[in-house]
């Protein structure tokens, strides 16, 4: 087995151990019912011998009814055991699937933003689904197929030893050959199953990416290109899927030949023994039943092993995620961040992207408590990166960032995020109601508090005009709202949160001039008594900042208030201001 396959088995094994008593009930009930299914034909054998060898039908019938009563008792016992098995499996599997889903969900959300940037959402959803489905499939195959197979075949061989050891030996040899070939073929086919799964993941990811960008496909006439690309991906999947299925079809043909060999060979030997007076009519009936049972059980063995390995290979992609260490983790003994003033210090901050590209180099900046700081600069200068580092979306390459003398790398991430609010450039909302989206900033908020925050953010009016008001669902990622409406909902959420440190990342970029004017008052109220960091390209939104920091090539190029920087001859800010407020620079 590959290392990830072993790790998957480890995850499943630990989960089964959590509910081991139900697992034990399933195993015992499955094994005992299988033993009963092997013992029952012995009574039919006696019944047939009794009927064939007794001329006194009255006396024989009494004994026959006694045998039939025993058969009924065994059948009812088997029925009870299977009912115990079914209800135990219902609890065991349902609870285990819920536990595994929770485990995957929690571990996924602890990965860094970089992880989600590198993975398609549709692919992640599929991985979680296949991981839990794999556990269900493997459990079903073990309880309902593998255990009955092993117990039934072993019991049949033991019974045949008492009838005629030669028959038992023939069955034993045949079963060993059949199972060995089945296992070898299934293991050989595993690599093709993994290749097929990877192709399915790629096709699913392509579908999700294209569907997410459906508007771009239409506006840029990309339909034919997308169809061609998806067709190529689907063609690759078709070839790998067909190859995997063809391998199994060939093996099933070989299985059928082996089955014919067993049935013909056993009955040939049985006829020879009957001719010598060793076997009875009842023995023939017993052999026929056992052959049917063996063929059914071992025929399923190939499918069991195939589904077993397929489920493991399906689950491996999620196992890889579950065994990938989180990029950003709390240090041992991390304390809660306590913010009383809101002073922020960037000291010798260096950040390299993928260890090859320096984004920020030796940033030293002290932001006083309650100070309103604005960051400007060309795209790619490092403004947004600086904000991401404050939220600890990445760890620093060198240097420290501290809030009220507390290194953010040594406090819990949850407490850091609790004390810093963000209004992003492109807010993404949950496909939930407007009330739920705004309340996300403060889950304990009352409806009245949510409405008050909405009024301050100037979004109460457009919400009230919705058919269901605050109960209106906004669509995936908030697609049913305009960019400006999403921005105001995000501002309302930040107002409700009321964290001591506020970050505005192009917070008014999606607003028209009228909406921007309306929202400025709300922002002024939101920013009161807070330490504020603003990132903006529209300089009109940052004129009243206490200090403006100009970032260029990952370093601080200029700093000062608007009047100072706007009047600096040849300065970067002065040129930008003239471009936006005074026309073209000669």
CATH number at 469 reads 3.40.50.300
Provide the total of helices (H) and of strands (E) in the chain, helices listed first: 19, 10
Which SS3 state, helix, strand or coil, does residue 301 take? helix
Highest mean pLDDT among 168-172, 313-317, 550-554: 550-554
Residue 334 domain-assigned (yes or no)? no
Q: Output the CA–CA distances (angstroms, integers) from residue 238 to 190, 267, 476, in the order listed.
A: 17, 44, 31
Residue 336 domain-assigned (yes or no)? no
Same domain, 309 and 372: no
Same domain, 111 and 68: yes
Which SS3 state, helix, strand or coil, does residue 401 take? strand
Give the H or E element holding residue 513.
helix 513-527
Which of 39-53, 335-349, 421-435, 464-478 bottoms out in mean pLDDT, i.e. has the lowest? 39-53
Domains: count for the chain: 2
**Tokens 């009161």 found at:** 528
Same domain, 365 and 450: yes
pLDDT tens digits along 363-390: 898 999 989 898 988 777 788 888 888 9
Same domain, 294 and 428: no
322, 354, 386 — which closes off a domain?
Answer: 322
Residue 328 domain-assigned (yes or no)? no
The answer on pLDDT for 21 being more than 90 is yes
Q: Rounded to the nearest 10 degrees, what angle do helices 513-527 and 483-497 cross at? A: 10
Q: With bands split at pLDDT 50, 70 and 90, how would you rate the model's confidence at 258? A: confident
Residue 259 domain-assigned (yes or no)? yes
Residue 330 domain-assigned (yes or no)? no
Token duo for residue 361: 């180099």
pLDDT tens digits along 289-347: 777 777 777 777 777 877 887 788 788 888 888 888 888 888 898 899 998 888 999 99
Instruction: State the pLDDT at residue 291.
Output: 78
pLDDT tens digits along 383-392: 888 888 898 8
pTM above the 0.75 mark? no
Same domain, 547 and 465: yes
What residues does 421 pair with on adjacent strands?
502
Token duo for residue 586: 């000669």
Instruction: State the pLDDT at residue 317.
Output: 81
Question: What is the residue range of 243's domain?
Answer: 3-322
Residue 337 domain-assigned (yes or no)? no
Q: Is the dihedral of CA 430, 432, 435, 440 positive or negative?
A: negative
Instruction: State the pLDDT at residue 518.
Output: 66
Same domain, 272 and 363: no
pLDDT tens digits along 200-255: 878 887 887 888 788 788 877 888 888 888 888 889 889 888 988 888 788 777 77
Residue 366 domain-assigned (yes or no)? yes
- Pick the more confident residue, 230 or 186: 230
Please choose, from the candidates 571, 18, 454, 241, the residue with its C-alpha nearest in 3D space to the C-alpha of residue 560.
571
322, 356, 376 — which closes off a domain?
Answer: 322
pLDDT tens digits along 124-140: 888 888 888 888 888 88
Beta strand 344-353 pairing with 357-367: antiparallel
pLDDT more than 70, % of the chain: 91
67: domain CATH number is: 1.20.1560.10
Same domain, 117 and 79: yes
Same domain, 173 and 298: yes
Instruction: State the pLDDT at residue 585.
Output: 42
Residue 334: partners with Cβ closer than 8 Å, 6 or more residues away:
410, 411, 412
Q: Rounded to the nearest 10 degrees, what angle do helices 223-275 and 165-212 cross at? A: 170
Same domain, 513 and 366: yes
Same domain, 184 and 268: yes
Angstrom distance (rounded) from CA 156 to CA 371: 84
259, 289, 322 — which closes off a domain?
Answer: 322
Q: Cβ distance 415 to 336 under 8 Å?
A: yes
Angstrom distance (rounded) from CA 178 to CA 303: 13
Same domain, 249 and 385: no
Residue 329 domain-assigned (yes or no)? no
Instruction: State the pLDDT at residue 1.
Output: 47
Same domain, 104 and 172: yes
Q: Cβ distance 372 to 545 under 8 Å?
A: yes
């Amino acid at each position: 087995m590959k290392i990830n396959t072993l790790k998957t088995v480890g995850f499943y094994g630990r989960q089964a151990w959590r509910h081991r008593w139900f697992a034990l009930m399933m195993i015992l009930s499955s094994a005992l019912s299988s033993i009963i299914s092997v013992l029952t034909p012995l009574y039919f054998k006696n019944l047939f011998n009794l009927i064939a060898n007794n001329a006194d039908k009255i006396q024989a019938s009494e004994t026959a009814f006694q045998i039939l009563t025993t058969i009924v008792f065994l059948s009812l016992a088997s029925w009870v055991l299977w009912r115990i098995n079914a209800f135990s499996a219902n609890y065991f599997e349902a609870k285990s699937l819920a536990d595994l889903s929770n485990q995957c969900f929690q571990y996924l959300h602890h990965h860094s933003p970089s992880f989600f940037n590198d993975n398609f959402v549709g692919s992640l959803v599929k991985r979680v689904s296949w991981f839990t489905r794999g556990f269900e499939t493997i459990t079903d195959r073990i309880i309902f197929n593998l255990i009955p197979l092993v117990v039934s075949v072993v019991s049949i061989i033991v019974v045949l030893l008492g009838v005629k050891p030669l028959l038992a030996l023939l069955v034993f040899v045949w079963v060993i050959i059949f199972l060995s070939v089945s296992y070898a073929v299934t293991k050989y086919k595993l690599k093709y199953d993994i290749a097929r799964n990877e192709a399915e993941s790629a096709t699913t990811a392509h579908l999700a990416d294209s569907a997410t960008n459906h508007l771009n496909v239409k506006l840029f006439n990309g339909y034919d290109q997308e169809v061609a690309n998806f067709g190529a991906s689907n063609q690759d999947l078709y070839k790998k899927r067909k190859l995997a299925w063809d391998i199994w079809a060939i093996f099933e043909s070989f299985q059928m030949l082996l089955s014919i060999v067993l049935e013909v060979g056993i009955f040939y030997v049985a006829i020879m023994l009957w001719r010598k007076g060793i076997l009875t009519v009842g023995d023939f009936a017993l052999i026929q039943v056992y052959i049917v049972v063996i063929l059914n059980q071992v025929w399923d063995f190939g499918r069991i092993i195939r589904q077993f390995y397929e489920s493991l290979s399906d689950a491996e992609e999620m196992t890889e995620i579950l065994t990938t260490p989180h990029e950003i983790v709390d240090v041992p003994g991390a304390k809660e961040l306590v913010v009383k003033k809101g002073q922020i210090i960037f000291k010798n901050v260096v950040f390299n992207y993928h260890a090859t590209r320096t984004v920020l180099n030796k940033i030293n900046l002290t932001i006083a408590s309650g100070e309103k700081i604005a960051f400007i600069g060309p795209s790619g200068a490092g403004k947004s990166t600086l904000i991401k580092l404050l939220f600890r979306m990445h760890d620093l390459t060198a240097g420290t960032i501290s809030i009220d003398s507390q290194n953010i790398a040594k406090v819990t991430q949850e407490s850091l995020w609790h004390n810093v609010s963000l209004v992003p450039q492109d807010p993404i909302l949950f496909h939930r109601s407007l009330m739920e989206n705004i309340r996300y900033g403060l889950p304990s908020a009352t409806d009245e508090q949510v409405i008050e925050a909405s009024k301050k953010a100037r979004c109460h009016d457009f919400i009230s005009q919705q058919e269901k008001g605050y109960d209106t669902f906004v669509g995936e990622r908030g697609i049913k709202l305009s960019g400006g409406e999403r921005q105001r909902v995000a501002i309302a959420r930040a107002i409700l949160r009321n964290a001591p440190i506020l970050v505005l990342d192009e917070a008014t970029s999606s607003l028209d001039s009228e909406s921007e004017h309306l929202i400025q008052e709300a922002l002024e109220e939101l920013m009161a008594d807070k330490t504020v960091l603003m990132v903006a390209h529209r300089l009109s939104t940052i004129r009243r900042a206490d200090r403006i920091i100009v970032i260029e090539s990952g370093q601080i190029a200029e700093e000062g208030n608007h009047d100072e920087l706007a009047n600096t001859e040849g300065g970067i800010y002065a040129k930008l201001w003239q471009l936006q407020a005074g026309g073209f620079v000669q």
